[in-house]
Each structure stands twice: as structure tokens, then as C-alpha cells.
Amino acid sequence: MILNTRDENGITIAQILIQEANLTQADALKAEMVAIIDKHPKKILTDFSQVQYVDSSFLGAMVSSLKYAVANKADIAVVNLPKDIHDLFALIRLDKVFKIYTSVEEALADSN
């Protein structure tokens, strides 16, 4: 299990529990995200606060999860990106794909 989840007002907050998000965990992320999406939340906030490194395989799993979410009328946003990972999201334009928030509180406030 690489995600710890909790619900707040119909929004699922999924905190990534690993520091190195790479190929080894990509399939587990997809499986756990699909299980969350199948519970029909309107929005999932993926919390990267504990992540120190992310590779392209893990980011690909995030994009696959987003595609599945959209097909199931849900949305995935990203919160608490460390600066280096935020810069990577911007470099490969994932900041145009995912809504990015600086904190869970900001994301929850925007959802109301």
C-alpha cells in the first residue's frame, strides 16, 4: 500500500507514503487509484508532501489514473508538491494537465 486515504466532504485525500516514486511503485499506484475512483468520489487530492523523487513511470501512472478518473466523472488534483517535483511538472507541462494546489486546505477551499 503506497497511499493513505481519508475523506473530507466527498473529496478523497490520497497521501503518497513513499519517498521515491518510481517504476517499482507505478503499478501499485494505478491499482490503488482505480480502487479509489471506483468508490465514486467527485475529486481526489493526491498529496506529494512525503515524496522526494519521482520518475516518468510514476508520472505516467498518475496520467493513466487521471484518464480513468475523467472517464468515471471524477477529477484528480495534486497538492503539496516539493519544489523540484513542481518544477518537473512545469517542465513536462503536467501543470497544464493537473490542477496543482500548495496545500490540502487550499484545494478543499477551492472545491467549495
Taking only the tens place, the pLDDT of each residue in 40-51 is 989 999 999 999
Residue 6, beta-bridge partner list: 13
Percent of the chain surpassing pLDDT 90: 93
Q: What is the per-residue pLDDT for 9?
A: 86
Query: Which residues make Cβ contacts (< 8 Å) with residue 23, sequence separation at least 6?
Result: 55, 57, 58
- Which pTM was predicted? 0.94
C-alpha cell at 93: 507541462
The mean per-residue pLDDT over the stretch 53-77 comes to 97
Taking only the tens place, the pLDDT of each residue in 88-102 is 999 999 999 999 999
Q: What's the rounded Cα separation, in Å, for the pair 55 and 10? A: 30
| Cβ atoms 29, 2 nearer than 8 A | yes
Furthest C-alpha separation in the chain: 36
Taken as a whole, the chain contains a residue count of 112
**Ordered domains of the chain (ranges, CATH):** 3-101 (3.30.750.24)
